[in-house]
Amino acid sequence: EPEVTQTPSHQVTQMGQEVILRCVPISNHLYFYWYRQILGQKVEFLVSFYNNEISEKSEIFDDQFSVERPDGSNFTLKIRSTKLEDSAMYFCASSMEGQGGQPQHFGDGTRLSIL
Amino acid sequence: GNSVTQMEGPVTLSEEAFLTINCTYTATGYPSLFWYVQYPGEGLQLLLKATKADDKGSNKGFEATYRKETTSFHLEKGSVQVSDSAVYFCALTLWDTDKLIFGTGTRLQVFP
């Protein structure tokens, strides 16, 4: 069964450094998402991406965050200047269609630790 | 606003016991409802879904029925196994948004 893959599985970064989290969505999916889960808290939506542009973003997704689909297969999340509170598990997801009930398929996540 | 409330965990059961994990929602409009499962060290896997009132989602022996009158989507399984030990997340999405809104998750521990 096709799956979403994320790399790396664990990323350790110094505060203030830039970090890029990578995802390969399912190949025939058109909608891509990033979520995060701070330890012990809810899974929170960050951003959705369709047709090479952001279609929706949350309040968390401020100017420090950006997303990109640099080629036909990868989808990346960049944090420009990391803060301690960015430490979390980051999940990438993809779906065939967007709004209204289409299931999103998740990767195994990247654990980001900011020192 | 839109939100999902799940019962606090952990839920601890013996193998072959009956499982219920409660989930209620608040939504402006008619949401689609999902259960996701997260096994240790893994990502979120879609377990089942229901997109309209009275729909029953089912998979791997788990079931949940979309109850509009009680705004609930409780997860049930008749006989749990040790391998069902995981964290279960209830989630919703609405027709006019891309995002999934998750509950806090309920940890299930099944002992032999």
Q: pLDDT by residue (tens digit) across B39-63?
A: 988 889 999 999 999 999 999 999 9
What is the pLDDT at residue A31? 93
Give me the sheet containing A19-24, strands edge to edge: A5-7, A19-24, A75-79, A65-68
Decide if A105 touches B, using CB distance below 8 A: yes
Contact B105 A33 (CB under 8 A): no
Decide if B44 touches A, using CB distance below 8 A: yes
Helix, strand, coil: what percent of chain A each, to 5? 5, 50, 50
What are the chain A neighbours of B102 within 8 Å (beta carbons)?
A: 42-44
Q: Is residue A70 predicted with pLDDT exceeding 90? A: no
Which chain B residue is nearest to residue A42, measuring alpha carbons?
B104
Give the number of A-B residue pairs with CB atoms closer than 8 Å. 65
Confidence of residue A100 (pLDDT cuts 50, 70, 90): low
Distance CA B56, CA A19 (A): 42
Test the B interface: residue of A89, A94, A106 with most B CBs within 10 Å? A106
Instruction: Give the distance from residue B92's alpha carbon to the nearest chain A alpha carbon, in angstroms.
Output: 8
Confidence of residue B86 (pLDDT cuts 50, 70, 90): very high
What distances in angstroms separate CA B20 from CA A20, B7, B9, B73, one per listed residue?
A: 40, 10, 12, 10
Residue A33 vs residue B30, higher pLDDT: A33
Q: Is residue B36 predicted with pLDDT exceeding 80? A: yes
Distance CA B74, CA A50 (A): 32
